[in-house]
Amino acid sequence: STFRTHLCLTWASRTGLTAFWVDGRRSALQLYKPGHSIHPQGTALLGQDPDKHLGDFEAVQSFAGELTDLNMWDHALTGNQIKALYLNHAQRVPRGNVFDWRSIEYEIKGNVLVVQDD
């Protein structure tokens, strides 16, 4: 779609419970890697599908579109928190403690344009 979509993914490492939230509505729950942990000092790669760890990128696999308000927490948000974010009531939700869109530092590569979102 050419219209904005609010997308949220939740994953609880202990149980593996995972869900997609699209515009404030949750998908069916699924299990994904219960008991898995993510190690500190990792790298987050957005907008590209690497063919191997941090390398061998293909231009045809690049993300084309807009990305805004990226946040990540070290815990799964509640359904009410996700709905509040979707309804633009971010003041009701703690800022992302892994990524916080308002203070994130990023490196731009390729044909990327950063614009103010009014």
The DSSP code sequence of 16-51 is -EEEEEETTEE---EE--TT----SS-----S---S
Assessment of whether the complete model's pTM goes beyond 0.85: no
pLDDT tens for 34-57 read: 999 888 887 777 777 777 666 667
When the pLDDT of each residue in the chain is averaged and rounded to a whole number, the result is 84
Domain covering 1-38+64-118 in this structure, CATH number: 2.60.120.200
